[in-house]
Amino acid sequence: MAANNDDNRALEDYAQPIIPDSPSCILLSIEARNYDLKSSHFHMLPSFYGLPNEDPLAHIKEFYNVVSGLPLQGVSEANPRMRAFPYTLKDKAKGWLMTLAPGSLTTWEAVAKKFLEKFFSTRRQLLERANLQL
């Protein structure tokens, strides 16, 4: 009877995490993967840390403004958005992105929706509007 290779593994080998080939939750199309982001583009991107005093809508608007100024190189604007968005997230926000299932977001609309579901507080917006009306 042939020995199974798994029989020779130590117990500690089973405790090692398995990192998938593409751990990102954002599944990029071929066009998005081939989109060339220059280092100067990275410096223009806004940052979002996931702090309570940050406005996720303002972040998305600023992100749109930056991406709309990038050269599209024959691709739709959604491709550079999906490619660049993870680089705008820092600290708590980046940690949140890493918790999402690999490959679970396949469109820019899905990425933006998931981001706003997590960080946009309807309650906060209502309180701000109420304070403005006083």
Residues ≥6 apart with Cβ < 8 Å to 48: 54, 56, 59, 88, 89, 90, 93, 119
Query: What is the pLDDT at residue 65?
Result: 92
What's the CA angle centered on 28, arms 17 and 104, to 5 degrees? 55
Asked if residue 134 has pLDDT above 50, the reply is no
HSE-up of residue 43 (Cα within 13 Å, Cβ side)? 3
Asked if residue 132 has pLDDT above 60, the reply is no
Asked if residue 1 has pLDDT above 50, the reply is no
6/8 Cα distance (integer angstroms): 5
Give per-residue pLDDT as tens, 96-121. 998 888 878 888 999 999 999 999 87
DSSP code of 8?
G
73 phi-psi bin (left φ>0, alpha ψ -120 to 50, beta other): left
pLDDT band per the 50, 70, 90 thresholds, residue 128: low
30/17 Cα distance (integer angstroms): 28
Contact, 77 vs 67, CB < 8 A?
A: yes
pLDDT band per the 50, 70, 90 thresholds, residue 90: very high
pTM of whole model > 0.75? Answer: no
Give per-residue pLDDT as tens, 25-58. 777 777 766 667 777 777 889 999 999 889 999 9
